[in-house]
Every structure is written in C-alpha cells, then in structure tokens.
Amino acid sequence: MKFLGNIIWLIFGGIIICIEYLISSLILIVTIVGIPFGIQTLKLALLALWPFGSEIRASKSSSGCLSTIMNILWILIGGIWISLTHLVFGILFAITIIGIPFAMQHFKLAGLALTPFGKEII
C-alpha cells in the first residue's frame, strides 16, 4: 500500500512539490548564509518525494539551543507560509474519503515545514 500511495502521490503533484523544494534549496545553498536553510529544504524535498512510510522524529544529536534559534528564524523567513500551504492542501484533501491518506501526508509535511531543525526523516 505504501508503494501504491507513493506512486499516486508522485503522479498527482508530489514530483512538482519535490522539484520546487529542490529549486529553492539550490537557491538557498548558493548564498553562503542560506546553507543551513537549504539543507532543511532538501529534507522537505526528500519527504515530498516519498512520504508514505516515512516518519519524522526528533534528532538524537544534541545541538543545544541552536536548533531552536534556527527554527525561529525559519518560521519568520518563510516556514510559516510553507506550512500553511501544506495545511490548506491537507484540509482540501481531507474533504473526500479518498483524499484522507494524502491529507495526512500534507499534515506531516506541514509539521516538518514549520520546524525542520532538530528533526530527521526515517
């Protein structure tokens, strides 16, 4: 079921979301200051490419308060808009019974898009 869900996800927009994240990641990585944010958008691109069967967990590596500071900067710079977009798509997909699994994946992406620092995809 995970494989079929991922294939349907890719056909109906997942590949487009992944390409958008990859382009924004490359733009951020080109600027030296944006490298940490570019790495986080790569994390979002990976999850947007193959979301079914993936989990988001808190990272075991201790980075102190740096991840909190970076999450606050991320939210202020653009993370809130990315998260709200996934939230709106999740609500739209949740209207139909067939769309509920895809809505759950958008909610998962919304959570990661809001605070990506200090989390890992498994």
> What does pLDDT average to over the chain?
92
pTM above 0.75, yes or no: yes
φ, ψ for residue 121, nearest 5 deg: -100, 130
Q: How many Å apart are CA 102 and CA 2, to the nearest integer? A: 12
Q: Which amino acid is at 63?
A: S
Task: Give tens-digit pLDDT for 67-82.
Answer: 889 999 999 988 999 9
The answer to whether the CB of 83 falls within 8 A of the CB of 114 is: yes
Task: Give tens-digit pLDDT for 17-52.
Answer: 999 999 999 999 999 999 999 999 999 999 999 999
* Residue 23, both tokens: 């382009």
